[in-house]
Every structure is written in C-alpha cells, then in structure tokens.
C-alpha cells in the first residue's frame, strides 16, 4: 500500500556494549528532521556526533510537507537540497473558492535571481530519507537506529544517557546532549521540564491520496464548500501524484467516524467529480497545541525543534523552525567545543530561537484564527474578507490560510551590532537573514554558494586596495569592479547587478555575515576596530 516504500535502516550493536569508549562530545536524540540536520551541520565544522533513534525508519506519513527556502539553503550545504527540489512540487498556482464559486486565482511564481524557490512541497519521509543517506555517508556521524533513550542524568560538565537496544542497555557520557526528539520529547519528560502553552480543540482530518486518474493541477482552498458546508478544506500537492486534503472538522466531530474510508471517499467524490480515481496513502485526525519551553538550554542539555516548541501546522513552521534552530545552534556549539567561544554563546541560541518561536506561534495562531474563527465577530470579519475578495484585491491579501515561513528577524540579539549608518535604503539589517542573488562565478551561480561554514565579510569596495583588513578566520567575498582577489578573498561577479541592489551595496559597503547566514553587522565604511568589535560580539566575547 502507498507510493512510498519504507526502508528499514540497519541496527548495529553499539561498541559500548563490548567495552568501547562511552565518552562522546555530542549526543543527539531523535532522527527526524532536526537531529540529522544538526549532525550534518556539526560534521561540516569537523564535529563528530552520535544520533540515537528508537525507531529504524523514516517518518510515518507525509507530515511536514512544506520545505521552505531557508531550509533548502541549509540542506544545500550538504548537497541534498537539489534532490528535494527535483522530487518535490515547486511552482504553484491555485484557486480560492467560497461556497460553490471560485473567487480568485493565485500564482506563486518564484522571484527570479534566487537559487531556491520560496518553498517546495515534499513529504517528510523523503526529506528524512535524503538526510539519512547523507548522514550514513558521513564519517563523523554515527546514526544509531533502535537505540532508545531511557535515562538522562545531568552532571556539571556532561550528561549520562542510558540507552536501550535489542542487545541490552548501555550508557553514554555526552559532553552535550541535544534533544531533537519531537513534541513528545522523551528527554524533556525524563527531566520533568514544563512545556507551557495553549491547547486548541478544533479537529482537522488529513487525507493523503494518490491519484490514479489525472490529478488536479492547482492548489485549492475552499471556504464553506458544498461538500463540507460548515467548514473549510485546503488542498496541497506533493510528490508522486499525492494530494493532501486537509478538512476542518470543528470541535464536535467524531474522529473515528470521520476517518472511515467510506466517509472520506464520499467527500472526495464530491470534490473531484465522478471520473476521478485515487488510493488512500495516509489518514490522520489531529488537533494541535502551541507550546514553548521556558529555556531551550538546561545546563548541558539543549532542546531543538518540536521538542522545544510546537505550533499549529498552518504556515509550515514546524519542520522549518526545527531546521532554523539547529542551523543557529550548530556553529555556536562547534565554537564552544573548540574553545573559541565561551559557553555563554549558547544563551543566544535560547534567546534568538525563543523569539523566533514566539513569532512563529503568533503567525500560525493568526492563520488558525482565520481558518477557525473563535468568536462571532471574528467569523464576521473572516466572512466579510472572503466576500470582498472576489472584487477587491486588498482583501485577498488578508485571506490567511497560512503565511509562508520566512526566516524570522531577531532584532536586538546580543550577537548583532545595530546599524550605525542611517542611509540604508534596503538590504538585510543586522538580525535579518542574508538574501540570495545570482553571481557569475565558475563554481557556483549564486551568492549563497560562496558563504561557508564560518563568518563571511561581503565587501563592495570598488578596488582591491579599498578592501577592509580581513579579521582572522573570516572569509572575504568581494563584489569589486576591478582588481584580483587578495589572499582570503573570493571575487564575485555581480552578473545582474542584483547583489548590489539587494544589499544597497554602494562603494565601500560591507556586511558581516554569521555562519547561519544572518547579518551580524553592516557598514558604509567599516574600520578595523569596528569590524573586530562586531566579530567579538558575534562570537560571544562582546
């Protein structure tokens, strides 16, 4: 059954059972999206890790299907993003319906001049498969299946982890333990840490179906459709001719009744007409919660992804936030392990990603409130918005079935240096993610291809002689008009002028970019002292 064949990944007897060393710098719990991404991001910086997972396969069901641009950019560093783009669905047109009538059409054609589109729809099991493949090929990563964490004992400089396997129990001594083990985090439960938040009672039904006749070419959102008149229905395309149909069921529906194939099929038949044929892939009734831990770092235990925070699914902020979490964490952890930054650098992981989680919860709650209004006036405004949307384009902007996940802005982070110059017309300010642009260089067609795993200084100095002095350990990118690249610098050719445009890159302008591709500081004319100060601040020495 189903278009996806679930592989079983091999279990290997851990060496600790036979007296091998128990000491590991990094132990990651959970091989979902966050765990393997973190392991790869650490490996890219020369840091070894062990990933423990109680299961031996990928995600059961399509689950997190919208892979956002910023996640693809992270995965591209491991060479697996293009595989996702090739397999997934990129370009999306769609139609919004009210009752039985289409009210407007939308077209999410990607903005040109970026390596990756705003998002790709791809089932979570493919994302995990590609991550697992890549991890299994990486010497610095040990991916241990059927290794279940049953005990966690935090110490001052390490964490003891008890692990159960088919061959018995063993203990690891982890320098740092990173819990990427999902919303029901075992590590969080074992440490008895609170997970406060809000419970929502609306029920939704996901039906993943694979069309055996021609599938609809468009994405569709229905409000009050004739086949489900009291509520809304969202439809998303996925790879392999699979569609996700997301029915809002309301608070009082009986999930077992709704899940019965005959009941799902009756609605689908009304949606797709008498000639359509399909097979069921996965059906699930869900409710959701919005929760966030008070601290993402507890001594030597760190939480990331759904283990640390959860949101409603609207707006694709689960999996994508998990990737952003571990991208934020990996370089900081690598620096702390190497002794090049103080342990307190990890406090910024907590503050930056908690701020991001708050923003994600706000955004997804707004979408949820639009799809399932909580009080009569809220419903009246929602319905008025829909009624105006056919004739008034402004109202279409207000229709909120989920806002695209974009990198959150982290203003006021202690790692970033606020603008000193006041004449910026555009360009990513400190605390914002860098933006991509095309460049004409032999080994890469885009700016993001040239940003490595460390800090980067992007300079628009007109001549080589005007380049700022490069601090130790920082890679230089020069968008210079003339002159060869000196040692430490790579010359970029601004093929379409879009690098200058997107960064407001006037002569002398420079951006200091963090390893997670956030802008740490920018200047019209940096001097050596300012540059050194910004770098100190960004590496936790500020």
Partner 1 sequence: MAEAASGALRRTLNLGRPDEVYNAIVDAHRDLNDEQCRAFDAGLILLLANHVGDAGVIGEALAAARSSLEGGSR
The residues binding partner 1 (CB under 8 A) are 98, 101, 103, 224, 363, 366, 369, 375-379, 381, 383-388, 390-394, 397-398, 400, 403
Give the nearest distance from C-beta 435 to partner 1 in angstroms.
20
Return the number of the residue (6 or 392) whose C-beta is nearest partner 1.
Answer: 392
Range list of H helices, 140-183: none
Return the number of the residue (33 or 98) whose C-beta is nearest partner 1.
Answer: 98
Give the nearest distance from C-beta 303 to partner 1 in angstroms.
28
Spatial separation of the C-alpha atoms in residues 144 and 99, rounded to whole Å:
51
Spatial separation of the C-alpha atoms in residues 265 and 245, rounded to whole Å:
11
Return the number of the residue (348 or 385) whose C-beta is nearest partner 1.
Answer: 385
Spatial separation of the C-alpha atoms in residues 480 and 400, rounded to whole Å:
43
Sign of CA dihedral 486, 490, 493, 498: negative
Cβ atoms of 458 and 503 closer than 8 Å: yes
As to burial, measured by CB atoms within 10 angstroms (0-12 exposed, 13-18 middle, 19+ buried), residue 428 is buried
Return the number of the residue (388 or 409) whose C-beta is nearest partner 1.
Answer: 388
Spatial separation of the C-alpha atoms in residues 63 and 208, rounded to whole Å:
10
Return the number of the residue (23 or 101) whose C-beta is nearest partner 1.
Answer: 101
Return the number of the residue (150 or 380) whose C-beta is nearest partner 1.
Answer: 380
Give the nearest distance from C-beta 306 to partner 1 in angstroms.
24
Return the number of the residue (347 or 383) whose C-beta is nearest partner 1.
Answer: 383
Give the nearest distance from C-beta 246 to partner 1 in angstroms.
21
Q: Which residues contact 81 (CB under 8 A, 6 or more apart)?
A: 72, 73, 75, 116
Return the number of the residue (213 or 378) whose C-beta is nearest partner 1.
Answer: 378
Give the nearest distance from C-beta 429 to partner 1 in angstroms.
17
Return the number of the residue (87 or 379) whose C-beta is nearest partner 1.
Answer: 379
Range list of H helices, 137-291: 186-190, 255-259, 261-272
For the chain, the residue count is 542
Give the nearest distance from C-beta 378 to partner 1 in angstroms.
5
Element of type H or E holding 319: helix 319-338
What are the start-end ranges of the E strands in 251-321? 278-286, 289-292, 297-298, 301-303, 309-310
Return the number of the residue (263 or 378) whose C-beta is nearest partner 1.
Answer: 378
Give the nearest distance from C-beta 388 to partner 1 in angstroms.
5
Spatial separation of the C-alpha atoms in residues 62 and 202, rounded to whole Å:
21
Give the nearest distance from C-beta 408 to partner 1 in angstroms.
14
**Count of Cβ atoms closer than 10 Å to residue 225 Cβ:** 21
Range list of H helices, 44-180: 69-76, 81-87, 124-136
Cα atoms in the 13 Å half-sphere on the side-chain side of 173: 8
Beta bridge pairs of residue 89: 121
Find tokens 């990094």 and name the residue: 26
**Count of Cβ atoms closer than 10 Å to residue 459 Cβ:** 25
Return the number of the residue (129 or 369) whose C-beta is nearest partner 1.
Answer: 369
Give the nearest distance from C-beta 400 to partner 1 in angstroms.
7
Return the number of the residue (270 or 378) whose C-beta is nearest partner 1.
Answer: 378
Going by the DSSP 8-state scheme, the letter that residue 323 receives in this structure is H
Give the nearest distance from C-beta 382 to partner 1 in angstroms.
8
Cα atoms in the 13 Å half-sphere on the side-chain side of 473: 13
Q: Characterize 13-41 residue by residue with b for buried, 16 or more Cβ atoms within 10 angstroms of its Cβ, and e for exposed.
A: ebebeeeeeeebbbbbbbbbbbbbbbbbb
Give the nearest distance from C-beta 390 to partner 1 in angstroms.
6
Return the number of the residue (277 or 378) whose C-beta is nearest partner 1.
Answer: 378
Sign of CA dihedral 374, 377, 380, 382: negative
Give the nearest distance from C-beta 394 to partner 1 in angstroms.
4
Give the nearest distance from C-beta 314 to partner 1 in angstroms.
12
Q: Which residues contact 200 (CB under 8 A, 6 or more apart)?
A: 287, 288, 289, 290, 312, 368, 372
Cβ atoms of 307 and 183 closer than 8 Å: yes
């Amino acid at each position: 059954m189903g278009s996806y064949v679930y592989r079983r990944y091999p279990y290997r007897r851990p060496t600790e059972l036979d007296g091998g060393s128990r000491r590991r710098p990094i132990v990651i719990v959970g091989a979902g999206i966050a765990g393997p991404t973190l392991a790869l991001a650490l490996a890219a910086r020369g840091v070894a890790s062990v990933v423990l997972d109680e299961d031996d396969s990928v995600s059961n069901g399509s689950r997190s299907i919208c892979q956002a641009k910023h996640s693809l950019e992270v995965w591209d560093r491991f060479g697996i993003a293009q595989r996702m783009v090739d397999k997934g669905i990129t370009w999306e047109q769609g139609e919004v319906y009210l009752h039985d009538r289409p009210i407007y059409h939308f077209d999410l054609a990607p903005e040109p001049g970026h390596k990756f589109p705003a998002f790709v729809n791809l089932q979570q099991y493919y994302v995990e498969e590609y991550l697992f493949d890549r991890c299994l090929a990486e010497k610095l990563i040990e991916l241990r299946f059927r290794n279940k964490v049953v005990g966690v004992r935090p110490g001052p400089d390490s964490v003891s982890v008890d692990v159960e396997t088919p061959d018995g129990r063993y203990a690891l001594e982890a320098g740092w333990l990173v819990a990427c083990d999902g919303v029901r985090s075992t590590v969080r439960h074992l440490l008895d840490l609170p997970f406060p938040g809000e419970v929502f009672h609306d029920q939704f039904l996901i039906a993943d179906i694979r069309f055996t006749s021609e599938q609809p070419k468009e994405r569709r959102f229905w409000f009050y459709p004739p086949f489900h008149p009291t509520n809304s229905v969202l439809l998303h395309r996925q790879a392999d001719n699979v569609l996700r149909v997301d029915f809002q069921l309301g608070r009082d529906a009986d999930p077992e009744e709704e899940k019965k194939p005959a009941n799902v099929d009756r609605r689908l038949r009304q949606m797709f007409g008498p000639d359509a044929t399909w097979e069921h892939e996965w059906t699930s009734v869900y409710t959701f919660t919005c929760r966030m831990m008070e601290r993402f770092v507890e001594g030597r235990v760190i939480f990331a992804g759904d283990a640390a925070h959860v949101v409603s699914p609207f707006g694709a902020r689960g999996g994508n936030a998990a990737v952003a979490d571990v991208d934020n964490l990996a370089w900081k952890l690598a620096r702390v392990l190497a002794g090049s930054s103080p342990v307190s650098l990890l406090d910024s992981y907590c503050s930056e990603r908690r701020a991001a989680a708050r923003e994600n919860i706000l955004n997804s709650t707004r979408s949820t409130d639009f799809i399932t209004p909580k009080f009569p006036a809220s419903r009246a405004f929602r319905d008025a918005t829909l009624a105006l949307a056919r004739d008034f384009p402004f109202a279409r902007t207000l229709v909120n079935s989920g806002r695209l996940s974009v990198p959150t802005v982290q203003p006021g982070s202690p790692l970033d240096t606020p603008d000193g110059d006041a004449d910026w017309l555009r360009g990513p300010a400190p605390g914002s993610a860098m933006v991509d642009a095309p460049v004409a260089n032999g080994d890469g067609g885009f700016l993001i291809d040239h940003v490595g795993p460390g800090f980067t200084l992007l300079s628009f100095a007109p001549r080589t002689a005007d380049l700022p002095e490069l601090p130790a350990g920082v890679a230089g990118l020069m968008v210079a008009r003339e002159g060869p690249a000196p040692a430490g610098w790579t010359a970029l050719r601004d093929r379409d002028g879009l690098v200058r445009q997107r960064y407001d890159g006037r002569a002398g302008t420079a951006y200091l970019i963090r390893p997670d591709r956030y802008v740490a500081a920018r200047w019209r004319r940096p001097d050596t002292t300012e540059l050194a100060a910004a770098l100190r601040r960004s590496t936790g020495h500020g």
